[in-house]
Structures are given as C-alpha cells and as structure tokens.
Chain A
Amino acid sequence: MSLLSIQRLTKNFGGLTAVNNVSFDVEQGSVVGLIGPNGAGKTTVFNLITGIYQPDQGAISFEQASLLRLPTHRIVSLGIARTFQTIRLFQNMSVLENVLAGCHCRMKSGILSSMFHFPRQQREERAAIDRALKALDFVGLRDQAENLSKNLSYGNQRLLEIARALGTEPRLLVLDEPAGGMNENETAQLVSLIERIRGMGITVLLIEHDMSLVMRVCEQIVVLEYGSKIAEGSPEEIQRNERVIAAYLGTEDG
C-alpha cells in the first residue's frame, strides 16, 4: 500500500516546465530518494506535495486522499512534514520554541484558553514542552533547548529543522537536502538519525546531492532531469542505469 502517490504531475512557470508528467509512489515505511542535477525540479516537486505550489496537471494523494488545493498547514496536520533546503528557522526564538512550532498543529488551545491559561491549556502546554524536549533529545539537541536558534552551528540548524518537523508527528517526512553544508562526521550522524526515524515507522522522502548518503539510506530512488523522471529503482539499479550516468557525468561528484 503506497502512502504517497504522485501521478502525472506537471507544473509550469511561465514558459518553463519545471515538473513534467512525473509519477512515483512512496511505500509506507520506506526511505525514498529524489535525485537529479541542479534545476531538475526536485524542490518544485516538494513544494507541490506540501501545497506551496498548485500543480497545473496531475494528482497527489496521501493515504488515498487527494492533497490538491489544500493549504500547506492542512497538509502538515494530515501528516506530511518538511524541512527547507535554505534553512528557515525562527531565528530569534529559542531552539525549544522552534520545535513547539511543529507541535502547534497537534495542540488545541484557542485564543481564550491561551489568554486565561485554563487547566486544560496548562496540561496541554506541559505535554507539548515534554514532547518537544523528546524530539530535541532524539536529534541530539536537548542541551541547546534554551539557545536562540540563530546561534546554532549550520549542521545543528539542519537537525533542528528535522526536530521541528518531527514535532508535527508526521507519517511522512520530506527532507530537502538534509546533508547540505554538513561535514563528514555530521553526515554520518544524519544517516543514523534517518535510520532511527524510519525505525519509528515514519516514511522518509528526501532530496540529496550526497550520493553516498542516498545510496546508503534509500531503498528506492527516483531520478529527475529537466523536470522529467528518467529512472526509478533500487540504488543498484540506479547506479547501473545508462541515462542516469549520462545525466550525471561531469555534473556531479557522486
């Protein structure tokens, strides 16, 4: 049973077709990589899945329900969380509060209970803070909870984005270049983190340029070039695929 299903997805920007008739499925519990040269339309696919753009044609469904025309925050509360390629944290807020942003959609307190701190609100708030701390623990940032997020190192900011996404209690986690800017050590930790996320039963879809990471963690890989899907398969199949090799030759240091 596929968790996320993308069918014949097309998106144009003016005269440019950024995504052209792309279809693929993400199976429940798997780790899927979306790769391709720069400008292949990978991030556009992510923006389409998360509702930041609306496709011109095609369908996206999550657990058999269509995501089309839903606003981004609704898609998040349905269970798809994402990180951003260009880190987008709430810079002047604490690390903990960044994760609490993710917890927001699983909380209920409205304007009145927020203003009067009814007992229910207090219990919910306590539970949210505990949950956020657990997420921080999970990515290894527990001791940074009270720091401002802008003071974190680059690699830790990427981890915080993942923790924030985990705060939304996702079923599918969409990671946009999670290893971007990380050193070898950090990348190795990221690999184990992704394994642990998968161990929690969360499905992962990721864009990544670091081929060794992709080959290590993904069981299925989708390759885009100029907005079109040129290959799909296991890491071994992709490494042998002629078109993929041609597309990457000289452009990537995979």
Chain B
Amino acid sequence: MSIHRKNVLGAVFLAILGLLPLFLNSYWVDVLNSIGIYAILGLSLNLIVGHSGLFNLGHAAFYAVGAYTAAILNTHFHIPVLWLLPLCALTAGLFALVIARPIIHLRGDYLCIVTIGIGEIVRIALINNIFGITGGANGIFGISRPSILGLTLRTPTHFFYLILVFTLLTIFLFHLLEYSRFGRALNFLREDAVAAEGSGINTAHYKLAAFVLGAAWAGMVGNIYAAKMTIISPESFTFWESVLMFAIVILGGSGSIFGVLLGAALIVGLPELFREFASARMLVFGAAMVAMMIFRTQGILPPRPRSYDLFETVEGERKA
C-alpha cells in the first residue's frame, strides 16, 4: 500500500519537475540545471564520502579531468561531446586509480588533507597549461554544442532534460548499487574497516573501487558541464567546488540518495532564492556544518536501513 502511494507521489513529482521549464524563465531553468549537476556530483562523491567514509576534499579534480578530456578532444578532433562520455569516465577513473592507490591507506583526516593537495595540484597544472593542452588560465573555449538524434542542444531547457535524464539514471543505478554486494561492502568498511577485513572483505580493493567509481561519475558530469558551457577554465574547479560537493553530502545526509538530492537543492537553490544574502552563503554553510556535527551528525535526511525480503520465496518477487 505505502509503496504504491510512494510510487504515485514520485510519478507526480517527476511530472511536475518535467513540466517546470514550461513555466520558468531561462534563468530559473539554469538554476535547476546547476542543482542537477551538483546533485549528480554530490551522488558521485557520496559513494566515497557517504558510503565508504573516505574523506575526499578534492573531488573537483576528477570533475575537471572529465571536463578537460571532453573539451580537448572535442576542440582538437571534433568528436561530438556526448560521445566522449565513456572516455571522460575512463580518464577521470584512471586518474583516480593512479593517485588514490598510494594514499588510500592513510587515516581519515590525512586522506582529507592529501585530497585537498591533489585538487590544488590539478588546478595549478591547468593554470600552467600542462602539456600545452589546457589553455592556461583562460581555459578552453569553442566546445561544440552537443546534439542528440539531430537536435542540437542550445537552450537551458534542452540541457534541463539532458541533465534530468542523467540524474534519474544516476539515482536508479546508485540505488541498485546500494542493494548489492558492492554497495554493502562500502558500508562495511565505513562502519569498521578492521571487522570488514576480518569478515573476508578486501578493504583496500573496495576503498580504491569507491574512489574510482565516484571519480569516473564526476568525470562524466564534467563532460556535461563542458557541453553546456562550451567554455571551461580552471576557475570552475577550485577548492570551493570540492567544499560545496562535500557540504552537499554531509549536510544532506551522507550515504542517502534523497539526502544528497535535498542537499544539492538547498545548497545550490537557496542562495538563488535569497539573492541579497548570496555573499553570506559560505558563512551559513560553515556554521551549518559545525551545528550539524554537534546536533545531527547524520545530516538532514540520513539513510534508512535497507530492507530485505526475508521470506525465502521461489524466484520472482523483487523490489520495484
């Protein structure tokens, strides 16, 4: 009964969301697009921070690797941007694999500091036009507009639907992931890495896998961002971007898909609603992070325990 009602509510919400661009001007559609992009970034970071308990404050670096992969290959070889999605996932994931491998065993707060350092090194490398391909401080412009089935995506509304589809796909896949051997393994290592290893879980492998998967996803978001902006520069990938993603996860509810979505909506959306206080938004986030740790460590919408089908049925019955 209640599952049925939830489905109906979800469908109604989705229908309203899908129709929103018809009633909003392009500025507000763009705000929704930002929320969507940060929601996916938040979900990708959630795999690392929320599910696995690995403090990553350099997530913008992976986002940047994806965006620059798309921009460089598109402007040099004229490969359609969206075709590059898998490649962006691959470069960001490989980059994460290479840099995370030697540092993954570090204790929580040290991992945090090192990821900050990596984020900074990447940003400085981009500014210094590393390998002569990143365009220095000005970045890369002239990324061609993506097209899907002959329709060239130009307006915020076009991108709204692209981002919406990608967000829904992410939610769906990450939800399935939570209900799997892989998803549980990440939680075990967050709860107690020693006990997880002692229960037969290759903790080093899963720490690394969480990092790589989260980074690969952020790389794909980088691709979409590059396609949407047609111009990217190092300014879009500063430490504050990483902090924003981190705050979305922590304040929204680490380990919870709905929490992260809510976090993105609040953290990206609220400052737009209260424009006059926009300059104070980081101040509010900072205070909120302190308060949240003291009064409600799990975030606004913490994850609910998974529920399993406890009746040993013969095939067939499954979760919707």
* Interfacial residues, chain A to chain B (CB-CB below 8 A): 50, 52, 71-73, 76-77, 81-82, 84, 88-94, 96-97, 100-102, 104-105, 107, 109-111, 113-117, 121-122, 124-126, 128-130, 133, 145-146, 148, 164-165, 167-168
Contact = CB atoms under 8 A, between A and B. Distances in A.
B307 A84 contact: no
B207 to A, nearest CB: 12
Contacts of B188: 90, 93, 101, 104
A52 B194 CA distance: 9
Contacts of A88: 192, 194-195, 198
Contacts of A167: 199
A104 B195 contact: no
A96 to B, nearest CB: 6
Interface string B292-320: 00000000000001111110100100100
Contact of B181 (A72, A96, A104, A146): A104
Given A76-B198, A107-B181, A111-B213, 12 more contacts: A73-B200, A73-B201, A93-B184, A96-B310, A101-B184, A102-B199, A104-B199, A115-B180, A116-B173, A117-B179, A124-B181, A130-B312
Closest 6 CB pairs of A and B: A105-B200, A76-B200, A114-B180, A114-B182, A88-B195, A90-B191
Interface of B: 173-174, 176-177, 179-185, 187-188, 191-192, 194-204, 209, 213, 305-310, 312, 315, 318
Nearest to B317: A126
Given A109-B181, A116-B176, A146-B310, A90 B192 contact: yes
Contacts of B318: 122
A161 to B, nearest CB: 9
A36 B90 CA distance: 55
- What secondary structure prevails in chain B residues at the interface with A? helix
Nearest to B195: A88
Nearest to B180: A114
A72 B195 CA distance: 10
A190 B183 CA distance: 33
B182 A93 contact: no
A14 B87 CA distance: 50
A125 B198 contact: no
A73 B197 contact: yes
Given A111-B182, A130-B312, A71 B200 contact: no
A102 B196 CA distance: 9
- Candidate in B199, B204, B213, B308 with the most chain A CB atoms within 10 angstroms: B199
Nearest to A108: B181
A109 B187 contact: no
Contact of B199 (A52, A76, A110, A122): A76
Contacts of B315: 126
